[in-house]
């Protein structure tokens, strides 16, 4: 159980070489071994989506993946969204539309929404709400999150 | 007085957002110290039993395990005390940090494992053997009480609120309406689970606890008392907090354990709760059963209301003691004139997770009960439900209006309100008559659609005080230092707006410090929708003082009179004409003595916002699902600091209210095993279930009890949701009084559809 495997996680274009137990979740490795605490743990059973990160272009619940499964994969987390001081359009839209209150679920929503819009820039409104229903927020009642993602979608299509 | 200012009253962007959007937040789980140990709690798997023995030998030999504690290791630490409504007779029912002789709910802390790593701590916790002799369980608070211990039974107390002559009211009544209603057990369930990290700073002999929330000063003082330390030698630090909702930040057994262990082992101790633990160990709330009667005259006017209810507080009395049933009894009258009133609350214990407050404590429950009763009066008299409300509403001319009893140490006196005006505005916005007629046509065509209406009075701004210090640093930065807390509601932005309005600097230059016990000597924290009212007024007072001091000092240096100067942005400018200006930083360097001021606002009365909700919904006859087609909220906030944040509070609260009305319920087996232990069993609303909400904020009734007229925004979104939903489901079924219990889960809807 405690035998450790050497793996490399590529997070936001930076390699982290770590040794990890096979049972260690990806989210624990990202947070504890790589020090990227922007990804949050909300339920550890794959329902709330607070730990959503993008692995090889797909949104993934990093509590349901083992770190060793992500060896060599390209991982994107909330820390990689902004370019220097300039917020990603999704981050800016969340601010403009008051799409966050306590901010705990926010990184998961940001990564979910970004990955979906990168794949499907013209996603329909009903499908969008469906996708967003895969993550939980307890503060906002979702309306401002939906508004923010719609606004960001417009902005992202311009780029 | 209330006019839209430069900052107050404007929907400016939040100061809190940037770090939260970029992954730079500092939540409890993000805080670590070198060499820290991790704590894992071993919890009772049995709902009620005598604790015979605990065998930790195998767990102790597990590599990486440092220590395991049972109650014997903390026997000198007293049980956790009461923060609010602490009746003496409840003290026998307080919880100790680890179970002593009995276990009384599944999830009760029995032992604590300390290890180098959280995975190891969890492995070792599984090896701790607990020997429990099971005892009969009590799960129904409205049934017969049973033994709590050798000396006490599970009816801990009965409290009563009354005014007028209730017996006379029923003697002369034309009609009596009686209902038996139940509210389900649910809770706040913030997205961040609880966490606490304690560290003993040996060099300064200070015990630190990080991960504090809600009420850091109270918890600091109480921890100091429990651990035998001077309060100056215990400091609490609030970082980012992933949602509060009443349940988070109260003092729990785990907080006591990490602090005691950090002192004992001289190691930083970190504890992060997992979600299953959260659902069985953090405060539950809401569960009540009401038997209520109304005496009414032939015009449908209420002569009296008599309510007897049973409050299920779970296995122990925690920090809130009698708060929730007390508020339920005290706030049940709502916006109506009730000449005679009596509420008797039986505060009962059961073998379930202990309870505390959850957003709109007592009011979500009693608003459901009262509005069900009003609907029932309408049905019985044949008078339209809106008309019944109109006939019974407290008139604006009656303000301030005293209910004749008290709660939370304050007499209930509604400070201001124009309930009829708000009701009319909402009905007009909803186009109520046409809405009802259109629904009737759809029902005639076979659809199960209906509309519901509910009104409520909220309370906010609980005192007795709040204190704020405003400082300008030598660098020119403005700091507002308070003892309140931020649980995600936007306190930094709101306080910065209020300070900026008075001081003259831009709100983005103001740094609001909260939840740090070493920065200000006292503070009440964030609960009861109190922060904007209490801390807001204290911030204004301190800012006025600081402005006077700064302009006075600047006038001497600039050789002019203070009334010819103003603060604009980051400098002192002359209002009388052209001339030199002075940077705040320069003034701060020259006259540091003039750069700090304190304000303390004291208030012995709460302030009472109010509102109404309208919902239109459709029942799915196949699945029992309830689809919200339209939702409207009218809320009188007195004076909004930031309307965007107020609306955010309303819609967020509403979503939680929908959860409690339709989905969320902590259920148990007959043996007391909890059935809602994951997010697959405890169902919270998603973006699919929460509708777009039409909000109508008004400022018709600013509070006369503070300068701006502020009232609290935190709870008006949630209070009447269960009531409005129940009313609409009745309407869809065309069966008045059909809904008697929350939540109206799909299977309960199906049951209602079957019993025609």
CB pairs under 8 A between A and B: 173
Residues B578 and B615 in one domain: no
Whether residue B491 has pLDDT greater than 80: yes
How high is the pLDDT of residue A155? 95
Do residues B503 and B634 both lie within one domain? no
Burial class (CB in 10 A: 0-12, 13-18, 19+), B72: exposed
Examine the domain organization and report whether B479 and B562 are in the same domain: yes
B-chain residues within 8 Å CB-CB of A146? 687
- Number of domains within chain B: 2
Same domain? A13 vs A75:
yes
Tell me which residue range forms the domain holding B646. Answer: 418-458+608-756
Q: Report if residue B83 sits inside a domain.
A: no
Write the residue in B21, B652, B693 that is nearest to A106 by C-beta: B21
Please check whether residue B540 lies inside any domain of the structure: yes
Same domain assignment for residues B550 and B628: no
User: Which one of B20, B649, B685 would you mutate to disrupt binding with A, by most A Cβ within 10 Å of its Cβ?
Assistant: B20
- How close A27 gets to chain B, by Cα (Å)? 12
Nearest CA in chain B to A95: B17
Which of B188, B645, B655 lies nearest to residue A142, judging by beta carbons? B655
What pLDDT sits at residue B4?
A: 64
Please indicate whether, in this complex, the C-beta atoms of B17 and A132 are within 8 angstroms of each other: no
Q: Do B655 and A106 touch (CB under 8 A)?
A: no
Residue numbers of chain A with a pLDDT score lower than 70: 1-2
Following DSSP, what letter does each residue of B611-626 receive, concatenated? EEEEEEEEE-TTT--E
Tokens of B238: 């609030």
Q: Residue A34 is part of which domain span?
A: 5-80
Q: What is the CATH number of the domain that holds A60?
A: 3.10.20.30
Helix axes A143-158, B643-658, angle to 10 degrees: 120
Q: Is residue B356 part of a domain?
A: no
Half-sphere exposure of B427 (CA within 13 A, CB side): 17
How close does chain A come to B32, measured CA to CA in Å?
Answer: 10
Considering the domain architecture, whether residues A72 and A99 belong to the same structural domain is answered as: no
Closest residue of chain A to B244, computed from CA coordinates:
A102
Closest of A81, A79, A77 to residue A89, by C-alpha: A81
* Min distance B690 CA to chain A CA atoms (Å): 6
Which of A52, A80, A108 terminates a domain? The answer is: A80
| Interchain CB distance below 8 Å, B693 and A143 | yes
Question: Looking at the partner chain, which of B22, B189, B679 has a beta carbon nearest the beta carbon of A91?
Answer: B22
From residue B569, how far is each of B503, B540, B584 by CA, in Å?
9, 17, 9
Nearest to A23 by CA among B414, B123, B413: B123
Please give the mean pLDDT across all residues of chain B: 97
Q: What integer is the mean pLDDT of B607-635?
A: 98
Q: What is the pLDDT of residue B2?
A: 41
Which of B17, B242, B656 minimises the CB distance to A95? B17
| Closest residue, chain B, to A2 (C-alpha) | B120
- Say how far apart CA B703 and CA B709 lie, in whole Å: 4
What's the pLDDT tens digit per position in B262-321? Answer: 999 999 999 999 999 999 999 999 999 999 999 999 999 999 999 999 999 999 999 999
Interface residue of B13, B679, B686, B687 to substitute, partner A, most A CBs within 10 Å: B687
Percent of chain B exceeding pLDDT 70 equals 99
B756: confidence class by pLDDT, cuts 50, 70, 90: low
Q: What is the pLDDT of residue B576?
A: 81
R_g over Cα of chain A = 16
A104 vs B25: CB contact, 8 Å cut-off? Answer: yes
Residues A96, A70 share a domain: no
Q: Answer whether A47 sits within 8 Å of B680, measured CB to CB.
A: yes
User: Which residues of chain A have a CB within 8 Å of the CB of B655?
Assistant: 138, 140-142
Here the CATH number for the domain that contains residue B495 is: 3.30.365.10
Length of chain B: 756
Does B69 map to a domain?
no
Task: Mark whether B626 and B738 lie in a shared domain.
Answer: yes
Q: Report the relative pairing of strands B410-414 and B401-407 from DSSP bridges.
A: antiparallel
pLDDT computed for residue B595 by the predictor: 96
Residue among A54, A83, A143, A152 with most chain B CBs within 10 A, to mutate: A143
Q: Where are the alpha helices (DSSP H) in B273-340?
A: 275-281, 323-331
Same domain for A47 and A10: yes
Q: At residue B431, does pLDDT exceed 60?
A: yes
Point out the residue among A79, A138, A141 whose CB comes nearest to the CB of B189.
A138
Q: Say yes or no: A47 and A75 in one domain.
A: yes
Decide: B353 and B107 in contact? Cβ < 8 Å: yes
pLDDT band at B497 (very low <50, low <70, confident <90, very high): very high
* Residue B347 CA: distances (Å) to CA of B55, B93, B151: 36, 11, 17
Cβ pair A105, A48 in contact under 8 A: yes
CA A55 from chain centre, in angstroms, equals 9
- Chain B CB contacts of A25 under 8 Å are none
For the segment B129-151, what is each residue's pLDDT rounded down to a tens digit? 999 999 999 999 999 999 999 99
Alpha-carbon distance of B728 to B449, in angstroms, equals 8
Question: What is the tally of structural domains in chain A?
Answer: 2
pLDDT of B204-225, one tens digit each? Answer: 999 999 999 999 999 999 999 9
Residue B75, CA distances (Å) to B72, B260, B280, B585 in order: 5, 11, 24, 54
């Amino acid at each position: 159980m405690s035998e450790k495997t050497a793996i490399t996680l590529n997070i936001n274009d930076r390699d982290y070489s770590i040794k990890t137990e096979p049972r260690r979740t990806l989210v624990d490795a990202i947070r504890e071994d790589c020090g990227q605490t922007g990804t949050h743990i909300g339920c550890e059973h794959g329902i709330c989506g607070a730990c959503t990160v993008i692995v090889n272009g797909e949104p993934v619940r990093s509590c349901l993946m083992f770190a060793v499964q992500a060896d060599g994969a390209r991982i994107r987390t909330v820390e990689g969204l902004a370019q220097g001081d300039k917020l990603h359009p999704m981050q800016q839209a969340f601010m403009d539309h008051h799409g966050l209150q306590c901010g705990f679920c926010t990184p998961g929503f940001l990564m979910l929404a970004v990955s979906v819009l990168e794949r499907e820039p013209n996603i329909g409104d009903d499908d969008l709400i469906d996708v967003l229903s895969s993550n939980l927020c307890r503060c906002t009642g979702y309306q401002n999150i939906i508004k923010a993602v719609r606004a960001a979608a417009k902005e992202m299509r311009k780029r | 007085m209330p006019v839209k200012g430069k900052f107050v009253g404007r929907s400016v962007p939040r100061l809190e957002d940037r770090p939260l959007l970029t992954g730079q937040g500092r939540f409890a789980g993000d805080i670590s110290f070198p060499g820290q140990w991790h704590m894992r709690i071993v919890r009772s798997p049995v709902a009620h039993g005598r604790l015979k023995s605990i065998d930790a030998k195998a767990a102790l030999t597990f590599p990486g395990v440092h220590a395991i504690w049972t109650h014997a290791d903390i026997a000198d630490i007293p049980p956790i005390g009461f923060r609010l409504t602490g009746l003496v007779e409840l003290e026998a029912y307080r919880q100790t940090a680890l179970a002593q002789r009995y276990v009384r709910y599944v999830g009760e802390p029995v032992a604590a494992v300390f290890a180098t790593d959280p995975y190891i701590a969890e492995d070792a916790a599984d090896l701790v053997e607990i020997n429990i002799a099971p005892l009969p369980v009590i799960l129904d608070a409205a049934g017969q009480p049973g033994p709590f211990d050798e000396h006490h039974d599970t009816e801990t107390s009965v409290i009563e609120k009354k005014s007028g002559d209730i017996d006379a009211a029923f003697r002369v009544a034309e009609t009596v309406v009686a209902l038996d209603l139940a509210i389900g057990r649910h809770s706040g369930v913030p997205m961040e689970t609880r966490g606490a990290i304690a560290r003993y700073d040996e060099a300064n002999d200070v015990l630190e606890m990080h991960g504090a929330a809600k009420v850091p000063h109270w918890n600091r003082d109480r921890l100091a008392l429990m651990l035998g330390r001077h309060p100056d030698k215990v400091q609490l630090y609030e970082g980012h907090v992933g949602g509060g909702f009443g349940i988070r930040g109260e003092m729990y057994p785990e907080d006591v354990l990490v602090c005691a262990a950090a002192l004992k082992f001289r190691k930083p101790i970190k504890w992060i709760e997992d979600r299953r633990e959260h659902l069985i160990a953090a405060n539950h709330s809401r569960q009540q059963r009401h038997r209520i009667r109304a005496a009414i005259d032939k015009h449908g006017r209420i002569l009296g209301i008599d309510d007897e209810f049973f409050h299920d507080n779970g296995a122990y009395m925690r920090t809130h003691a009698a708060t929730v049933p007390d508020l339920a009894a005290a706030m049940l009258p709502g916006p109506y004139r009730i000449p005679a009133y009596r509420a008797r609350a039986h505060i009962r214990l059961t073998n379930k997770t202990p309870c505390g407050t959850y957003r709109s404590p007592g009011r979500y429950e009693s608003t459901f009960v009262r509005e069900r009763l009003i609907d029932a009066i309408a049905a019985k008299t044949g008078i339209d439900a809106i008309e019944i409300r109109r006939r019974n509403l407290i008139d604006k001319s009656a303000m301030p209006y005293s209910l004749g009893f008290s709660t939370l140490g304050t007499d209930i006196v509604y400070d201001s309100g124009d309930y009829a005006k708000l009701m009319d505005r909402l009905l007009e916005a909803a186009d109520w008559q046409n809405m009802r007629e259109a629904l009737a046509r759809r029902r005639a065509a076979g659809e199960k659609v209906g509309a519901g209406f509910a009104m409520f009075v909220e309370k906010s701004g609980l005192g007795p005080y709040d204190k704020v210090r405003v400082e300008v640093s030598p660098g020119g930065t403005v700091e507002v230092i308070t003892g309140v807390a931020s649980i995600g509601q936007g306190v930094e932005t709101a306080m910065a707006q209020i300070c900026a309005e008075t001081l003259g600097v831009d709100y983005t230059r103001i740094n609001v410090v909260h939840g740090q016990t070493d920065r200000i000597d006292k503070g009440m924290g964030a609960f009861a929708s109190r922060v904007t009212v209490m801390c807001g007024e204290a911030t204004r007072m301190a800012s006025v003082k600081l402005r006077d001091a700064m302009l006075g000092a600047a006038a001497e240096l600039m050789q002019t009179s203070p009334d010819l100067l103003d603060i604009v942005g980051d400098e002192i400018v002359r209002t009388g004409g052209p001339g030199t200006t002075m940077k705040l930083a320069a003034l701060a360097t020259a006259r540091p003595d003039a750069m700090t001021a304190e304000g303390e606002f004291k208030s012995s009365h709460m302030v009472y916002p109010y509102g109404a909700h309208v919902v239109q919904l459709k029942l799915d006859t196949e699945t029992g699902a309830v689809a919200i087609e339209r939702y409207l909220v009218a809320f009188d906030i007195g004076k909004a600091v930031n309307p965007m944040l107020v609306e955010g509070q309303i819609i967020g609260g509403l979503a939680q209210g929908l959860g409690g009305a339709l989905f969320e319920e902590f259920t148990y087996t007959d043996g007391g095993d909890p059935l809602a232990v994951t997010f697959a069993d405890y169902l919270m609303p998603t973006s699919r279930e929460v509708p777009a909400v039409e909000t109508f904020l008004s400022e018709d009734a600013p509070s006369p009890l503070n300068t701006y007229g502020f009232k609290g925004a935190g709870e008006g979104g949630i209070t009447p949701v269960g009531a409005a939903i129940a009313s609409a489901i009745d309407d869809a079924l065309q069966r008045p009084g059909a809904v008697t219990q929350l939540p109206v889960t799909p299977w309960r809807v199906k049951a209602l559809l079957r019993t025609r």
